[in-house]
Amino acid sequence: MSADTGSELILSANQATRRKIKYMRSYTHVFERDDWFVNLLVSSVCFLIPVIGPLVFMGYQYQVVEGFIRRPNEKMPKFEFNQFTLMLSRGVYPVVASLVLQCLMAPLYLFSVLSSSLAFALLHEGSEPIALTIFIAISIAFANIVVFFVIHLIMAPLMLRAGISQSFSKTFNFRWIRSFVRTVWLEEITSILFCTISSMVVSIIGILMCCVGFYPATALVMLAMTHLTYQQYEIFLANGGEPIPLKEETPCYPVEQPQ
């Protein structure tokens, strides 16, 4: 066997491995830090700060993603309040990008509900009002489900590009977003379902801790979603996806090797 053939086999094996989402890993990576509880507790303070708090935590999430992209074998970066401004400015990019997408999708959602309801009313003129009411309710529920998944499939890579590139000019690359969705759409959907189910369990545990643990539990779920996003990005790259351009790194955190 030639060296080139051996290299191709190794690359193929690595890609096959990376195509599998490690769901539990999305939670367990948080506990690799020796100060994991303090880190969760401190970062969860963001949820007590109106408006800008969630922006700061979102900025931290994408710092975590970038940390894994640059140094995949190291621990999750620590949340540091002295990086408050940097995290806040970073969190603005994905939030603005998501708002733009929602504004673009809102007319489509309204059109789908109104058109289906109008079509039913015209086709069943003179029918019982209760039947029309039930159909409208079903139409709205169906539209909500469809639009939710469609928006999330597009929003996840859009916000990822915004949070990593930290540039609006580089965020709205719909060719790249289309490629991302086409490559990892299944992983995106299964990750949504996993986070939805697991977040219920984690939230209940947090509430049982005299409600004090609710905020760290929320931070834990958000960081799990962050790691799932990172895994999807790695799968995308392993399948020939185009990397997101990174800004020049600003040293924020000490390098910590996993034990």
Residue 203 lies in a domain: yes
Cα dihedral across residues 223, 173, 101, 140: positive or negative? negative
Give the H/E segment covering residue 216.
helix 214-238
Confirm whether 68 is domain-assigned.
no
Q: What angle do CA 26, 238, 152 make, to 5 degrees?
A: 55
Structural domain includes residue 141: yes
Is residue 189, in this structure, part of any structural domain at all?
yes
Q: How many residues does the chain have?
A: 259
Please tell me the number of Cα atoms within 13 Å of 31 on its side-chain side.
Answer: 7
Residue 199 lies in a domain: yes
Instruction: Report which of 116, 244, 128 is spatially closest to residue 176, judged by C-alpha positions.
Output: 244
The domain total for the chain is: 1
d(C-alpha 144, C-alpha 141), whole Å: 5
- d(Cα 239, Cα 117) in Å, to the nearest integer? 42
- Position of tokens 């019982």? 128
What is the per-residue pLDDT for 111?
72
Q: What is the domain range of residue 234?
A: 24-63+84-238
Residue 228 and residue 26 in contact, taking contact as beta carbons nearer than 8 Å? yes
- Over its length of 259 residues, how does the chain's per-residue pLDDT go in tens digits? 444 444 444 444 444 444 689 999 999 999 999 999 999 999 999 999 999 999 999 999 999 999 999 999 899 999 998 999 999 999 999 999 999 988 887 777 677 666 666 666 665 665 566 766 776 677 667 767 777 777 889 999 999 999 999 999 999 999 999 999 999 999 999 999 999 999 999 988 887 776 667 889 999 999 999 999 999 999 999 999 999 999 877 655 444 554 5
CA-nearest of 7, 141, 160, 48 to 94 is 160
Position 257 in a domain: no
Whether 259 is in a domain gets the answer no
C-beta atoms surrounding 51 within 10 Å: 6
Rounded Cα distance, 59 and 80, in Å: 12
Measured distance CA(13)–CA(31) in Å, rounded: 28
In a domain, 126, yes or no: yes
- pTM of the prediction? 0.80
How much is the pLDDT for 207?
Answer: 79
C-alpha span between 229 and 188 (Å, rounded): 8
CA atoms within 13 A on the CB side of 84: 8
Predicted confidence at residue 183, as pLDDT, reads 96
